[in-house]
Amino acid sequence: MANSHPLEDRKSKLIVLGIVILLSTLGGFAFLEILLRVWTPPQIRMMGKQILLKKNLVIENNYNFNSDKIQNHIVIKRNSLGFRGEEPPINFSKHKTLVAVGGSTTECIFITEGKTWIDIVGQKLASRFPGIWVNNAGIDGHSTCGNIAMVDQYLSQLKPNYAMFLVGVNDMAVENCRSEDAKQLVSSPIAGLTQRLLDKSMVYTYVNYLVNRKVAHGMVAVSDSIFNYNVLGDSTFYDKVGKDDDQKFDKLLKEYRQRLETLIFKTKESSIKPILITQPAVYGKGVDPTTGVDLADLIVADFTEGKKIRRGEDKWNILEKYNKVTREVARENNVPLIDLASEMPKDTKYYYDFVHYTEAGAAKVGEIVSAHLVDIIKD
């Protein structure tokens, strides 16, 4: 009987060890994948292009901001749809129904249940339209790309009578909804396939969230939550708007227009009546009634332009370019428009940073929006 060679024995053992490690890794990955699908962390809102809505959830957040701008105890409730607001009525099609869609200025994660601007809208409209149902489908960070996905994946099945879209500020940070997909496919068909497979993995989604959460829009809102308007910053150091910026925004605004038109088309195609709302901000022209600060001299550094630092008046002029497109698209497509950007007072008591509302701000927004909705939804 022939004896086995020591090198061959070692090679066989290494192969077996490798197989064991591979199977253990795959088993561990599969276990985590199943676990994360059974219990998805509430922070995970997207898996690839799929919106993940956490249903029947109550979140209680406790903060210690030491400020009257934000409550220390905030309760957020998700209904059976995964939206903020009352449960849908049993005879849904027989009720007047309206869903608000947008980003963080719609979701209002720093405003407790019952006091968001959508809550105020529902309360004010209830006296005029008994039985009306109003819900909040806002998701922190969503631009018109996310709004289109919300219509495709959820509202097209729910079919509320109306969907109102508060849009503008998050689109300042967006080039094209398909840009990343296009890069993957151009670089390599295999890379594109790999990315699509990864987009369907909850483990990959969660790891990606952990890696990027420090630069995510939501984390910026948490870490820089309350702005001291009395500290203007060094007004000698900011990025002036030049010809390169004008050329860049010409391209971005063209793509924003196309996304808005797509959003309107898909909403109408789903037998839902769209309503567009322009984006307000505290920076711009004028003196703040609360602090006496010149809002044109605010130094604005936020998530919308990467590392660009803008003077308040310049930043407002940029945002108004997007609002102008929103107004034009609404007019050209015969869609009701609520020009909140023009009507919302520039007063820091209504904001805890440059664009997000305090409870007083949410109440003011709700008052303005509901006054217009009375005429828009009366038929």
**Alpha carbon distance 317, 319 (integer Å):** 6
- Start-to-end CA distance of the chain, whole Å, equals 95
Of 334, 136, 109, nearest in space to 225 by CA:
109
What pLDDT is stored for residue 46 in this prediction? 55
Report CA 313 to chain centroid distance, whole Å: 24
Of 89, 106, 115, 259, nearest in space to 176 by CA:
259
Residue 186 pLDDT > 60:
no
How many other C-beta atoms are found inside a 10 Å radius of the C-beta of residue 183? Answer: 12
**Calculated CA dihedral for residues 289, 300, 302, 228, nearest 10 degrees:** -50
In order, the DSSP letters of 240-295 are PP-HHHHHHHHHHHHHHHHHHHHHHHHHHHTT-EEEEEPPP-S-SSSB-TTT--BG
Residue 378 pLDDT > 60:
yes
| Residue 304 token pair | 């919308």
Of 313, 249, 323, nearest in space to 279 by CA:
323
Collapsing DSSP to helix, strand or coil, 314 comes out as: helix
Taking only the tens place, the pLDDT of each residue in 101-146 is: 999 999 999 999 999 999 999 999 999 999 999 999 999 889 999 9
Of 200, 251, 229, 274, nearest in space to 49 by CA:
200
- Across the range 8-24, mean pLDDT stands at 69
**Alpha carbon distance 169, 143 (integer Å):** 8
How many other C-beta atoms are found inside a 10 Å radius of the C-beta of residue 68? Answer: 12
> Under a CB-based contact definition with an 8 Å cutoff, are residues 84 and 59 in contact?
no
**Amino acid in the structure at residue 177:** C
Residue 18 pLDDT > 80:
no
Specify burial of residue 229 (Cβ count, 10 A radius: 0-12, 13-18, 19+): buried
In a 13 Å sphere around the CA of 346, the CA atoms on its Cβ side amount to 22
> Under a CB-based contact definition with an 8 Å cutoff, are residues 273 and 330 in contact?
no
The residue whose two tokens read 């290494």 is: 14
- Across the strands, what pairs with 59? 76
- CATH placement of domain 46-376: 3.40.50.1110
What pLDDT is stored for residue 29 in this prediction? 55
**Alpha carbon distance 134, 95 (integer Å):** 10
Per-domain residue ranges for the chain? Answer: 1-39, 46-376
Q: Does pTM top 0.85 for this prediction? A: no
Taking only the tens place, the pLDDT of each residue in 288-339 is: 999 999 999 988 888 788 778 899 999 999 999 999 999 999 999 999 999 9
**Alpha carbon distance 45, 318 (integer Å):** 29
Taking only the tens place, the pLDDT of each residue in 337-356 is: 999 999 999 999 999 999 99
- Across the range 68-89, mean pLDDT stands at 93
